[in-house]
Structure 1
Amino acid sequence: MSVKVPASRTRVGKYELGRTLGEGSFAKVKFAKNVETGDFVAIKIVDRDQVLRHKMVEQAKHGRLKEDEARRYFQQLINAVDYCHSRGVFHRDLKPENLLLDSYGVLKISDFGLSAISQQVREDGLLHTACGTPNYVAPEVLNDKGYDGRASDVWSCGVILFVLMAGFLPFDESNLMALYRKICRADFSCPSWFSSGAKKLIKRILDPNPDTRMTISQMLEDEWFKKGYKPPHFDKEEEVNLDDVDAIFNDSKENLVTEKKEKPVSMNAFELISRTKSFSLENLFEKQTGLVKRETRFTSQRPPNEIMSKIEEAAKPLGFNVRKGNYKMKLQGDKTGRKGQLSVATEGVTTTADGSIIS
Structure 2
Amino acid sequence: MEDPPINGSNRSIIFGKYEMGRLLGKGTFAKVYHARNLNTSESVAIKVINKDQVKKEGLIEQIKREISITRLVRHPNVVELKEVMATKQKIFFVMEHVKGGELFAKVAKGKLKEEIARKYFQQLISAVDFCHSRGVSHRDLKPENLLLDENENLKVSDFGLSALPEQLRNDGLLHTQCGTPAYVAPEVLRRKGYDGAKADIWSCGVILYVLLAGFLPFQDENVMKMYTKVFKAEFEFPPWISSEAKRLISRLLVSDPEKRITISGIMRVPWFCRGFTRPIGSFSIEEQSQENFLEQKEEIPIDENSKEMELVRSKSSPPFYNAFEFISSMSSGFDLSNLFENRTRSGSLFTSKCSASMIMAKIESLAKKLNFRILLNKDYKVRMQGVSEGRKGKLLVTAEVFEVAPEVAVVEFSKVAGDTLEYRKFCEEDVRPALKDIVWSWQGESCVCED
Q: One-letter code of the match for 1:134?
A: P
1:199 to 242, 246, 252: 246
- 1:110 paired with 2:157, answer yes
* Secondary structure of 1:212 counterpart: coil
1:279-294 alignment runs, 5 A limit: none
1:111-150 alignment runs, 5 A limit: 111-150=158-197
- Structure 2 residues without counterparts, runs of 5 or longer: 1-26, 33-100, 288-304, 331-337, 368-383, 408-437, 439-451
Partner of 1:296: 322
1:138–1:152: 8 Å Cα contact kept in structure 2? yes
- Alpha-carbon separation, structure 2, partners of 1:154 and 1:123: 23
> Higher relative contact order by CA 8 Å / sep ≥ 6: 1 or 2?
2
Cα 1:235–1:78 change in 2 (3 A) is: closer
1:1-359 alignment runs, 5 A limit: 62-234=109-281, 236-237=283-284, 272-273=309-310, 276-277=311-312, 295-297=321-323, 298=326, 318=345, 326=358, 341=396, 343-346=398-401, 351=406
2:321–2:402: 8 Å Cα contact kept in structure 1? no
1:321–1:333: 8 Å Cα contact kept in structure 2? no
Residues 101-148 of structure 1 show CA distances to partners (whole Å, capped at 9, x for unaligned) of 000111001111111112211221111100000000000000101111
- Alpha-carbon separation, structure 2, partners of 1:339 and 1:295: 28
* Secondary structure of 2:147 counterpart: strand
2:385–2:395: 8 Å Cα contact kept in structure 1? no
**Cα distance, 1:24 vs structure 2:** 9.2
**Cα distance, 1:62 vs structure 2:** 2.9
1:89–1:117: 8 Å Cα contact kept in structure 2? yes
- Alpha-carbon separation, structure 1, partners of 2:349 and 2:106: 52
- Alpha-carbon separation, structure 1, partners of 2:31 and 2:170: 39
Cα 1:338–1:175 change in 2 (3 A) is: farther
Residues 150-189 of structure 1 show CA distances to partners (whole Å, capped at 9, x for unaligned) of 0000100000000000001000111111111100100001
- Alpha-carbon separation, structure 2, partners of 1:156 and 1:333: 37
Question: What CA RMSD, in Å, does the superposition of the two structures yield over aligned residues?
Answer: 4.6
**Cα distance, 1:74 vs structure 2:** 0.4
Q: One-letter code of the match for 2:136?
A: V
- Alpha-carbon separation, structure 1, partners of 2:213 and 2:344: 45
- Alpha-carbon separation, structure 2, partners of 1:181 and 1:333: 51
- Alpha-carbon separation, structure 1, partners of 2:178 and 2:308: 48
Cα 1:162–1:333 change in 2 (3 A) is: farther
Q: One-letter code of the match for 1:296?
A: N
More strand by share: 2
* Secondary structure of 1:89 counterpart: coil
Cα 1:23–1:192 change in 2 (3 A) is: farther
1:87–1:337: 8 Å Cα contact kept in structure 2? no
Q: One-letter code of the match for 2:400?
A: A
Q: One-letter code of the match for 1:149?
A: G
Q: One-letter code of the match for 1:215?
A: T
**Cα distance, 1:347 vs structure 2:** 5.8
- Alpha-carbon separation, structure 1, partners of 2:309 and 2:30: 40
Cα 1:157–1:269 change in 2 (3 A) is: closer
- Alpha-carbon separation, structure 1, partners of 2:204 and 2:284: 30
* Secondary structure of 1:345 counterpart: strand
Q: One-letter code of the match for 2:162?
A: S
Identity of aligned residues (%): 46
1:119–1:318: 8 Å Cα contact kept in structure 2? no
Partner of 1:258: none
Residues 6-47 of structure 1 show CA distances to partners (whole Å, capped at 9, x for unaligned) of xxxxxxxxxxxxxx979999xxxxxxxxxxxxxxxxxxxxxx
**Cα distance, 1:233 vs structure 2:** 1.3
Tell me the TM-score normalized by structure 2: 0.47
Residues 85-106 of structure 1 show CA distances to partners (whole Å, capped at 9, x for unaligned) of 1122111110011111000111
Tell me the TM-score normalized by structure 1: 0.58
